[in-house]
Amino acid sequence: MQKQLILEYKGEELSGILIKEDEKYMTLKLKSGYNANIKKSDAKIISEKNIEIKSNGKTTIKINNSLPKVAILHTGGTIASKVDYKTGAVSWKFTPEELLHLYPELLEIANIDAKMIRNMASDDMRFEHYNILIDEIEKSIKEGAKGVIISHGTDTLHYSAAALSYAFEELSVPIILVGAQRSSDRASSDASSNLRAAVNFILHNEKSKEKYNRVGICMHEGISDDSFLIIDGINSKKTHSSRRDSFKQINYLPFAIINKKDEVEILRNEILTNENKKVKHTKFNVKLKIGLIKIHPHSFPEEFTHLNFYNAVIIEATGLGHLPISQIDEYTKSHSKILEEIKSLVKKDKKIVIATQCCAGEVCMDVYSPGRILNKTGVLGNRMNLIPETLFMRLAYCLSKDKKNFEELWNSNLEGFECRSVDVNMDL
């Protein structure tokens, strides 16, 4: 049994379920789904009653086989979570069956085939999990799915989108990753609306002559439920820790907008296809070690020495792709040693890729002298506009697929659109 309290607190009336208390404080779970930590001495209890928190009653799930089949592969995350009223925390504990009970409206528009892959926080994702997803996606497509939805935690959702974008060299249906920033039992939950938008996009895509047979993300365009974005898996990024519209397409337009009437507006026709390709993929080498470091003021050569541990490294450089490699006075003598460490790593056949830590733009090491010096060491990434997370997965894919012909593969068009500039055209 739980206590439901109504109390007066600093001139306001609050109502919620008591989930924790000690001598000085109590924690209420409000109707909004948020926790309120209240100092007892500032609160006056107006009323209280004991209630029993029951799980949702389950009804028989009716599948309409005449509707198009859409697979949902569940990996965990907020999209399939609810509040644990004993602890006040959110936990991702729903099974695929419970997921359908949560969102029965999906069964009215599609034949939903939901499968449990994992129930995990997205921070725990590893290459092994990507390989499991690759197998399950291929299986779902062979079983007739017109599209595959992956319910996923938002924290590393954009990493997974990039990973699957590279892993699947050819696709016959769209793969859409869907997350949520609010748990399913919150009034402000975006879980149901994100899922519905993703299903409707797949249904729209199935009817279209030219198709989006790629990996994308479906999330809110703004904070309201008026519209949703299909963001391509290449150069997608979580830009806010909690907003419903946290996912953005960097350096490009998103692929499409879906309005509240489920109408789809295509923004990037260049990545549509009318080819009916078979599924083709490459799995990740789980033994690969890829590092990701950030350049900052007051750097030391020792920060680069430890990179010998990795097979490859993404360096988030400043601006156009700069590192502190110039000795300009008695305080910057160590900077020349940083350059020597980079040269040493490249000579050892460590793949070093330069990315920009700026929010948008591209790397261009041809503009300033230090950049040109760095570029001559053999580092990669010059004139590319891919974000660090995408470059991380590009590296992993290339090293997994063909290490012997890495250079040829790296320089090929793996994205299906041009992501690198040919001429230097910078507004400086």
The residues carrying an active-site annotation are 78, 154-155, 238
Place of tokens 């460490």: 341
Residue 220 CA to residue 228 CA, distance in Å, equals: 4
Tokens for 301, please give them: 């050569």
* 113 and 145 Cβ atoms separated by less than 8 Å: yes
Give 101's contacts (C-beta < 8 A, 6+ positions apart): 56, 58, 59, 61
Residue 3 CA to residue 17 CA, distance in Å, equals: 6
Tokens for 42, please give them: 């500032």
Residue 216 CA to residue 380 CA, distance in Å, equals: 26
Q: Which uninterrupted H or E stretch holds 205?
A: helix 191-207
Rounded to the nearest angstrom, the gap between the alpha carbon of residue 319 and the centroid of all alpha carbons in its chain is 24
* 317 and 355 Cβ atoms separated by less than 8 Å: yes
Tokens for 377, please give them: 């060491």
Residue 127 CA to residue 222 CA, distance in Å, equals: 32
CB contact burial 257-274 (16+ within 10 A = b; e otherwise): bbeeeeebeeebeebbee
Strand partners for 16: 5, 30
How open is the CA angle 405-288-395, to the nearest 5 degrees?
50
Q: Which uninterrupted H or E stretch holds 302?
A: helix 302-305
Q: Return the closest-CA partner of residue 246 out of 222, 216, 217.
A: 222
**Amino acid in position 73:** L
Q: How far is CA 404 from CA 87, 349, 398, in A?
A: 52, 11, 10
How open is the CA angle 31-37-38, to the nearest 5 degrees?
105
